[in-house]
Chains A and B, each alone.
Chain A
Amino acid sequence: ILNVEQSPQSLHVQEGDSTNFTCSFPSSNFYALHWYRWETAKSPEALFVMTLNGDEKKKGRISATLNTKEGYSYLYIKGSQPEDSATYLCASRGSGGSNYKLTFGKGTLLTVNP
């Protein structure tokens, strides 16, 4: 995988549902994986930064896991609420040279219906 890829592209869930999205990134020369939440008309807001294989981070109802060997990360939202509606972006940073820049996926647009 040369780019950062996110799936699904969009997702509609009902309030109270739990959901998860996937971020795939280049596993070679990996340095760090970032997750952001981007609400309409606002700035992207940082959720997590993860570096170690097997890392798990949690913030309220949102959690994320990281597998650096196979190059993927999952973001989980438990009991989705309408205020969780946003685009969720992941970004991978490689180690050294041109790989060092933060490369973003196209995001997963989550809509939570009340």
Chain B
Amino acid sequence: KAGVTQTPRYLIKTRGQQVTLSCSPISGHRSVSWYQQTPGQGLQFLFEYFSETQRNKGNFPGRFSGRQFSNSRSEMNVSTLELGDSALYLCASSLLILDTDTQYFGPGTRLTVL
């Protein structure tokens, strides 16, 4: 079974631009979560989607948004990029039949904002 895929893997943008990141979950998984990893910080939770509905949201500004499609693929958008948005963005999928279900992570998208 194919794992979680994320595109693109690397991205360079300039301040003020916007960016869209994509995540394709493992087949059959209906939950997708997004995380931001910056140097010195742990994985910071951005949001979680299940069956096209946002189930939970982390403490990030409104410039960060996401959505999930009917095929469970998810996109994350960051508008008006700031230097501090440079990070590794990871998505994770799970079956979410049980709330203890394991999350499976993708390889991440490395975003650099210049």
Contact = CB atoms under 8 A, between A and B. Distances in A.
Interface stretch (A61-69, A78-86, A100-108): A100-108
Task: Identify the interface centre among B33, B42, B44, B107: most chain A CB within 10 Å of its CB.
Answer: B42
Given A43-B90, A43-B108, A101 B102 contact: no
A55 B107 CA distance: 30
Interface residues of A, number: 24
A114 B100 CA distance: 36
B42 A107 contact: yes
A40 interface: no
A102 B102 contact: no
A44 B42 CA distance: 12
A43 B106 contact: yes
Contact of A104 (B42, B56, B101, B102): B42
Contacts of A49: 100-102
B103 interface: yes
29 contacts: A4-B42, A31-B99, A32-B99, A32-B100, A36-B105, A43-B3, A43-B4, A43-B107, A43-B108, A44-B92, A46-B102, A46-B103, A49-B100, A49-B102, A51-B100, A91-B43, A100-B56, A100-B99, A101-B45, A101-B48, A101-B56, A102-B45, A103-B45, A104-B35, A104-B42, A104-B44, A106-B41, A106-B42, A107-B42
Given A31-B99, A43-B105, 7 more contacts: A32-B100, A49-B100, A100-B99, A101-B45, A101-B56, A101-B58, A104-B44
